[in-house]
Structure 1
Amino acid sequence: MSAVKPKDPRANQKARTRAAIIAGAKELQRHGTTPTVEQAAEHARVSRATAYRYFPTKEALLIELSAMTDPAPVEALLANLTTEPVEERLRLLIDTFDGFALAEEEHVRAFTRVSLDTWLRSRRNGEEAPVVREGRRMRWLETVLAPLDELPPERKRRLQAALALTLGGEAIITMKDVCRLDNDEALAVLRWAATALLRAAVHEGPGSAADDSERPTGNGQPQRRTQRPRRPRRAPADSNATKP
């Protein structure tokens, strides 16, 4: 069974709709227009109501279009990634993406706030699984971990999910606000955590506790491994007892 809850079956469609709205807004930007949600919707040929589910305000749309969300530096890194050691590939991703996020911390926080607001608004409107992120991190990690052919698919998928915790705005906010670290310390800790997770997954033996002890059930809750009942111990013989 999967170690990660299955994706929403409509997630790909939602992601395509979201991408179309962003593409429409970018096209308007290229022509010198600061796009509104309505204009982006019209350009993408989707309804205004649909566009507002993804971008409830003009601010949300403009933050998505800002330089902070531009994946070009990471995309360029991955396109030219020739090094084979996976640890080095992962370090380059952490340093590039998290380093960029630290340098643009104000935009990171604004983007995170808008994402959370969008999710909450969508849930209040009855949407079960709002799509507020494109999910680029998982795609980037898939490229970085590509040389790990010997890793079982389920373990590799779990590793990707764990490593996603070390990338992006949420990781930066935790390091800065909760742990009170400066930028250099934050990047060093995230780099160390990612490396530790990678090494743990690579050196994990088959049938390990991580594979078997907590398998998800149909409702997404972990199912504990069933343990055999212990036999009651016999009382020790009394050496001083009187023999019959």
Structure 2
Amino acid sequence: MDLQNTDVNAEATVQLSRAKTLRLHTGNLVNRSRMKKKCPGSPSEELRDCIQATLSDWFSSTKPSTTDLQDTLVCSIPEAADAIKPEEREEMKVSAKLFLCEAGQSAIREAVEMASQMLTVSQLDSVSIAPPCAPEGDSQTLAHLQPAWEELEALVKSRKIAAIGTSDLDKDLLEQLYNWAQVKPSSNQVNLASCCVMPPDLTAFAKEFDIQLITHNDPKELMSAAAFQEAVREGARVLSTTDWRLEWVLRYSVIVKSRGIIKSKGYLVSAKRASP
């Protein structure tokens, strides 16, 4: 047995056990050879594999710390980072989709700030939001969307985001949001698994008000609580993870404008330990 590796794993386990918030940054999946070998069948499978691999790599590389244990534990792999250099920023388009697993406007600001910090940019070019699913049996309403949208608008006004978009809104709800909002949605993502052809009324409305319609294949629930806990358990090799709950997931991509190629892509994940 490698005694040094055992000490490292013990240190990482202690840090995880004491933390109240867990933040993960997968780094650039384009460059991570471990992830490039995988061909996930869905966004959910990709996210699960990313969480597991990032935790596993972090646990195997963590150095013993002499500092006080922190409430917020950030797990990232420095060699897999994808910071954007100042001189290349103008050539890059930074887009993100934020999945809110729990309601709460503070999560939106936290996710955007973490993405900006990890990518070393002052502003994200676009952020689309997938709010938490409405309570079972209820349909999505404008009232349900408004708190999250107001937080996005505040981030646009403070120049943290240039443009904001929505996900899976039908024509009526998109029109309600557009008429109410101070900062209008620039895009709306449509899941073609639920509608094989873009609805004509949605297409007409989007065209009239210059809203870009983008297709996607993300499930309504990107990751279940059980799937997240399993990924943490397998990546960290700890027995109990039931006290961790997923807060939000931000998926980002950095595209070279002139060439239309993806320079980097990755996930940021935040989870909180349930209160005793």
> Normalised by the shorter chain, which TM-score bucket?
under 0.3
Q: In proportion to residue count, which structure has more strand? A: 2
TM-score scaled by structure 1?
0.24
TM-score scaled by structure 2?
0.22
Relative contact order higher in (CA < 8 Å, ≥ 6 apart):
2
